[in-house]
Amino acid sequence: MAAAATGDARALRRACGRYATGVAVIGACGAGGRPLGLTVNSFASLSLAPPLILWSLALHSPSAAHFAPGAAFGISILRAGQGELARRFATPAADKFAGVAHRRCPRGVPYLADALATLACRVERADPVGDHLLIVGAVEGFEAGEGEPLVFYGGEFVRIGDAAGR
């Protein structure tokens, strides 16, 4: 197989898309105390002791200003069948949470009501790397439910039925 030139962004995206991921909505307290949220698949576990996670945020995202070191944010990991929610939070809008069942923690961080798992985090570091902000979050709390995750593969939401109940 011939390797495409690294300057070919579409081919690189296609190659990286061969890595199946889960999908999460990252929520934080935005301007005027309004909840903000965006869909990500760059989330990954980084360290267990201390508990750290990472994800990356496009530098041009209007949300970037709200993920400075010390800021609180929440991660809602999506279930199979929540592809519409993933699309909604991947589409710029004034209030993505309007009409979406969610709860807000005392610090105003929003979590989706029917998430498969949630993690409460604080930004440990936020470093520009390439065209993204690499965000490392300290995990301050978490809850894990049961069920099938939403999976993103090859640019699409797919199912892995046999992951349910594990």
Ligand X SMILES: Cc1cc2nc3c(=O)[nH]c(=O)nc-3n(C[C@H](O)[C@H](O)[C@H](O)COP(=O)(O)O)c2cc1C
Give the shortest CB-40-to-ligand X separation in angstroms.
Answer: 3
Contact between 67 and ligand X by CB under 6 A: the answer reads no
Restricting to residues 136-155, which ones interact with ligand X according to CB under 6 A? 152
Task: Confirm if 113 and 103 have CB atoms less than 8 A apart.
Answer: yes
Q: Among residues 33 and 106, whose Cβ is nearest to ligand X?
A: 33
Residue of 32, 50, 70, 92 that binds ligand X (CB under 6 A)? 92
Interface pattern 17-46 for ligand X (x via CB under 6 A): ------x--------------xxxxx----
Cα 137 to Cα 93: distance, rounded to the nearest angstrom: 25
Contact between 112 and ligand X by CB under 6 A: the answer reads no
Q: Among residues 42 and 52, whose Cβ is nearest to ligand X?
A: 42
CA dist 107 to 53, 71, 77, 160, Å? 20, 10, 20, 35
Contact between 58 and ligand X by CB under 6 A: the answer reads yes
- The phi and psi torsions of 83 (rounded to 5 degrees) equal -60, -35
Cα 124 to Cα 74: distance, rounded to the nearest angstrom: 13
DSSP assigned state of 149: B
The DSSP element (H or E) to which 52 belongs, if any, is strand 52-58
Residues contributing to the site for ligand X (CB under 6 A): 23, 38-42, 55-58, 61-63, 86, 90-92, 152
